[in-house]
């Protein structure tokens, strides 16, 4: 089950990142070094802050809308996410046993766009959805610190820059999972750390080789 959840995370994240990778891959890939980060707290959001904004918007569409999954988006020119915050997010919603799909796009800390596709999802039970943001007892700033303690995880520089984040529901264990996404020191393998959003415990960790050029 965990591997299928991971694959979903990877697909969503890579679709978000790929459009920016081609442009940046022309830079000198041998320059792998320390990354600087200047936070702008007016625009940078933690995962929970992004979920609160997106969920409020989704409830305007349908009062039965529930959180499905989502990730931060690799849109910044320089690496960000070093404090567990990102400016850009894609948050997905659905309705149990319905085919409706609703995407809320957050850019620079605010809602940029909303898209409703009535026949995008296969009907799924409530076990695949998250009712409220309150189910997330742990947020990305503290989970990034946990990830840095339990493994050697580094921010990306060209592709999937900085640290990225995402979430999904574990339908079998019935709790949300938060993913912290970074790289190994050589910047060849992406590291995916999946945390229980209720207890803050690390559930599983994966590495996946990436080809940036």
Q: Residue 59: in which H helix or E strand, if any?
A: helix 47-61
Q: Which residue has the tokens 């190994």?
A: 184
Nearest to 130 by CA among 72, 54, 61, 46: 54
The pLDDT value given to residue 75: 86
Distance CA 199, CA 9 (A): 20
Burial class (CB in 10 A: 0-12, 13-18, 19+), 110: exposed
Q: State how beta strands 164-170 and 110-117 pair.
A: unpaired
The pLDDT value given to residue 98: 97
The pLDDT value given to residue 49: 97
The pLDDT value given to residue 127: 96
pTM of the full structure: 0.82
- The beta-strand segments (E) located in 79-201 are 89-94, 101-107, 110-117, 164-170, 175-183, 189-196
Nearest to 54 by CA among 92, 94, 16, 13: 92
The pLDDT value given to residue 63: 97
DSSP sequence for 23-52: HHTTS-TT----------TTT-B-HHHHHH
Ranges in the chain, pLDDT < 50: 11-41, 213
């Amino acid at each position: 089950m965990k591997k299928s959840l991971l694959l979903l995370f990877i697909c969503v994240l890579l679709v978000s990142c790929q459009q920016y990778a081609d442009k940046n891959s022309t830079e000198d890939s041998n320059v792998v070094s320390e990354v600087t980060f200047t936070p702008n707290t007016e625009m940078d959001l933690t995962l929970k802050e992004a979920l609160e904004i997106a969920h409020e918007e989704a409830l305007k569409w349908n009062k039965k809308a529930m959180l499905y999954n989502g990730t931060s988006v690799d849109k910044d020119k320089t690496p960000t996410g070093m404090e567990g915050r990102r400016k850009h997010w894609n948050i997905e919603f659905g309705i149990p046993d319905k085919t409706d799909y609703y995407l809320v796009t957050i850019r620079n800390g605010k809602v940029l766009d909303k898209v409703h596709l009535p026949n995008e999802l296969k009907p799924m039970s409530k076990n695949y959805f998250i009712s409220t943001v309150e189910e997330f007892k742990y947020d990305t700033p503290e989970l990034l610190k946990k990830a840095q303690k339990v493994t050697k995880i580094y921010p990306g520089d060209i592709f999937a820059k900085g640290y990225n984040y995402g979430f999904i529901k574990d339908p079998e264990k019935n709790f949300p999972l938060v993913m912290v996404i970074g790289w190994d020191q050589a910047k060849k393998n992406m590291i995916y750390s999946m945390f229980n959003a209720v207890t803050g415990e690390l559930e599983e960790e994966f590495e996946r080789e990436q080809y940036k050029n």
